[in-house]
Structure 1
Amino acid sequence: MTLLNRRNFLLSGAAVATAASLPRNSAASPHSQANRIALASYSVWRFKDDLKMQMEDCIDLAAEWGFDGLDMLHIQMDRTDDAYLQQLKRRALVNGIDLCGLSIHQGFVTSDAEKRQQNIDHTIDMIEMAYKLGVPCLRLNTGRWRTISFDELMKNRGIEPTPAGYTDEDAFPWVIDAIEKILPTAKKCGVLLALENHWGLARTPEGMLRIYNAVDSPWLKLLMDTGNFLENPYDKLKQIAPHTAFVQAKTYYGGGVYYT
């Protein structure tokens, strides 16, 4: 069985609207609808310059491949002015694609209060951009110490040394305080913050849950990346599953840059 081409589906909207007005099959299961699945724009880039495409092309590709939505990576966007954002919003609508997530890069794991504030301000700007796009969920990181390069971090399986005189215990209050300062904007804009298991203090489920429980807000949930718990992943994924609002599913099928 082949998937119905999304554009053909939209062109047959009159027939669909008519069918929707008919009585439902009483035997249909209330749980029969499959999970909605989005394409991550990162999946068609992967930080390879020769693969990078414009976000509008990612929207078109998501529609062509039969996805329900698009999870957008902010650093993949060449423009963020209001006119461009509204162009993206319209393009997604006419293609039947939900702009369901915005993944950003920021971090609060630094002893420099000024740098933490800069990252707070950046995150607030991104929440407001998500609001303009109609994106309901924003990927959040804890950040990391950056005492080693990302290549070294991957070689060490996500573990990095702390700066002299500091431990991870020092960083947890910084991250919690930063998120609490961001929450009022998230609530005002109706954008859910989703903390990802993306290295740093969120490298373990215990670290994620410590932050989640300390913040204790309906506007903070967790984002599960199925490829970022490198040891005993299924047990760890189960720990964060009850508080997860967004899943980025991936696997290492071979030939990866860092893992295979």
Structure 2
Amino acid sequence: MLTDRRQFFAASAASAALAVSAGASARGADAPKPRPIRIGVSTYSFWQFKNNKLRDVEACIDLAGETGFDAVEVLHRQMTDESPAAMQKIKRRAFLNGMGLCGFSIHQGFVFKDKEERQKNVEHTIKCLEMCYAMGIPTMRVNTGRWGTIKSFDDLMKNRGVEPNLPGVGDDEGFKWVTDALTACLKTAEKCGVVMGLENHWGLGRTPEGVLKIVDAVGSPWLRVTLDTGNFLEDPYDKLEKMAPKAVLVQAKTYFGGGLWYTLELDNDRIARMLRKHKYTGFVSLEFEGKEDPLTGVPKSLEVLRKAFAV
């Protein structure tokens, strides 16, 4: 009888193992497709620093919801009220539109000879991290800053984003300033649960090598990359791919009506394939930089991005 019981339990275990194996095989054959990448929109796409009727952040959130976006990225400079009540209204407005807030884009820089000026920008960055926490925003775009030796941004764009260093300052010193400044922000980023994303955005961040040098030197999970598809003006694809493994947010440029400063013929299908290869599953946030009315250019852009990033 004991032998029969042992044989029974052994046979049962073998049958169970076969069932589990068969079930796993079946699930593998019918595995769900990866979900499409979600598409957000920066409030900048509506305002563009010039469309005053479209500056109100809450109004932009409503437009984003009506257009069919999944999320909104808030441009800090677009906010006219930074009070706690105003920030909670922004969070509430996104919720009522069935959307999240996928990013906060700020302007700061750390390439100043004056140590006090650098510290002022550190404090500004820390304040903005705390604003992200208040609004429930998980990532914040940061910059290296630019040298400022070409005063006009229009002139900088005419020069393809290239400007001379500050007199007597080499790149190595500039990289140290930026690395030290961002390192000083890490404790707040961790406390607030906000990942800073260093963007390829002129200055020492004009090249993928520059961005990655800083990110690697800081060496923290709270500093990664915000990847902007429109800020490499020549041969963008290999450069974007170098940064893709560390991207936490992708900002996708479109230029309907011609670009405000320049126009790039970006292959969004190619960019989407590259991001899938690197298993990017975060948000793609539209930054519309065309001269066309945003009320028509933004919906067109969403259609382009939906098609490119669909699975």
TM-score range, shorter chain: 0.7 to 0.9
- Structure 1 partner of 2:45: 43
CA distance in 2, matches of 1:130, 1:158: 29
Q: CA deviation at 1:257?
A: 2.5
- Structure 2 partner of 1:84: 86
- Structure 2 partner of 1:108: 110
RMSD: 1.6
Which piece of structure 1 moves more, 30-39 or 115-124?
30-39
Q: CA deviation at 1:103?
A: 0.2
- Structure 2 partner of 1:11: none
Which piece of structure 1 moves more, 28-37 or 183-192?
28-37
Matched position secondary structure for 1:249 = strand
**Equivalent residue runs for 1:124-135 within 5 Å:** 124-135=126-137
Which piece of structure 1 moves more, 126-135 or 89-98?
89-98
Q: CA deviation at 1:67?
A: 0.8
Tell me: CA distance 1:167–1:52, structure 2 relative to 1, closer, same or farther (3 Å): farther
- Structure 1 partner of 2:120: 118
Matched position secondary structure for 1:158 = coil
Matched position secondary structure for 1:185 = helix
Which piece of structure 1 moves more, 26-35 or 137-146?
26-35
Is 2:54–2:60's contact at 8 Å kept on the other side of the alignment?
Answer: no
Q: Could you list the per-position Cα deviations for residues 41-63 of structure 1 after superposition, in whole angstroms to 9, with x for gaps in the alignment?
A: 11111111445331111111111
Matched position secondary structure for 1:99 = strand
Percent same amino acid at aligned positions?
56
- Structure 2 partner of 1:206: 209
- 1:140 is aligned to 2:142: yes
- Structure 1 partner of 2:179: 176
Q: Could you list the per-position Cα deviations for residues 56-102 of structure 1 after superposition, in whole angstroms to 9, with x for gaps in the alignment?
A: 11111111111110000000011010011111111211211101100
Normalised to the residue count of structure 2, the TM-score between the two structures is: 0.73
Matched position secondary structure for 2:72 = strand
Q: CA deviation at 1:151?
A: 1.4
CA distance in 2, matches of 1:253, 1:168: 36
Q: CA deviation at 1:120?
A: 0.3
Is 2:138–2:193's contact at 8 Å kept on the other side of the alignment?
Answer: yes
Whichever of the two has the greater Rg, that structure is: 2
- 1:192 is aligned to 2:195: yes
Pick aligned residue for 2:58 from 56, 64, 70: 56
Q: Could you list the per-position Cα deviations for residues 94-139 of structure 1 after superposition, in whole angstroms to 9, with x for gaps in the alignment?
A: 2111011000000001111000000000000000000000000000
- 1:258 is aligned to 2:261: yes
Any unmatched runs of 5+ in structure 2?
A: 1-26, 264-311
Higher relative contact order (CA 8 A, sep 6+): 2
- 1:246 is aligned to 2:259: no
